[in-house]
Amino acid sequence: MTLSVESQPPVAWLRLDRPQALNALDTQLTTALEQAVERLAGMTDVTVVVIAGRGRAFCAGNDLTEMATLSSEQAEALARRQAALMARFATLPQVTLAAVDGHALGGGLMLAVAQDLRIASDRARFGLPEVTLGFNPAYGIARLLDVVGGAHARDLLLTGRVVHASEALRLGLVNRVVAAPTLEATAAAWAADVARSPRGGLEATKAIVAELRRQGRGAEPEAYGAALRTSPEARARIQAFVDRRRER
């Protein structure tokens, strides 16, 4: 099992469950998320969905061990699916809340940004390390620009640096930061508070926000695939990263 859906109306929890891989997004987890989101969309008794990760990370991004085995065409196809998955969260009838503990890197950061609200533990870390490996984020740049603003987004995108939860709060990347032991309880209380409002009003408001910020799809998946196709350095850096992790 790579994830679980726990329905406790009016709140449901969607938990990534690959703790041994820091909940990294591989093909199997992507498929499971696609299916879970469609299941959640049909849950008329659920008003708020909380997304969290099991273990010591929220989500470490795309699984580089798998990525090292994919052709550029396969990597681009997976990125297109993941981009569509992130966009799907915006069209869910429920309000979505990311509860981030540990690392949210690359696609994991973009998964958090895809949600309506974000709460982080004081040990959470956020970053977009793709540029340091020789390629671009595969999706979500427009949404990141919308959430934190152009200057801060460019800083994260172009430096690949990792920021602490306190800085993420200052940047507007998260809405709240709490002590790690209280994260789940605080997220549950926040979700319950949001769910007290009638679902119809929440759904309509969310739809209006989505319509106001809707833009054409970015070219991230194509550029992502092209980087792997035309940049031997990117491939080499990905393999070096995988090899270093295996040696630990």
* Distance set, CA 185 to CA 125, 147, 188 (Å): 20, 25, 5
Q: What region, left, alpha or beta, does residue 143 occupy, with left being phi > 0 and alpha being psi -120 to 50 degrees?
A: alpha
Q: What are phi and psi of 178, to 5 degrees?
A: -135, 165
**CB burial string 159-193: b at 16+ within 10 A, e below:** eeebbebebbbebebbeebbeeeebbebbbebbee
Written as one string, the DSSP assignment of 75-132 is HHHHHHHHHHHHHHHHH-SSEEEEEE-SEEETHHHHHHHTSSEEEEETT-EEE-THHH
Taking phi first (over 0 means left), then psi (-120 to 50 degrees means alpha), and beta for anything else, what does residue 144 get? alpha
Is 130 a catalytic site residue?
A: yes
Q: Which of 186, 188, 184 is nearest to 11 (CA)?
A: 188
Distance CA 74, CA 180 (A): 37
Which of 130, 167, 184, 211 is catalytic? The answer is 130
Cα angle: 195, vertex 199, 200; to 5 degrees: 155
Annotated catalytic residues are: 130
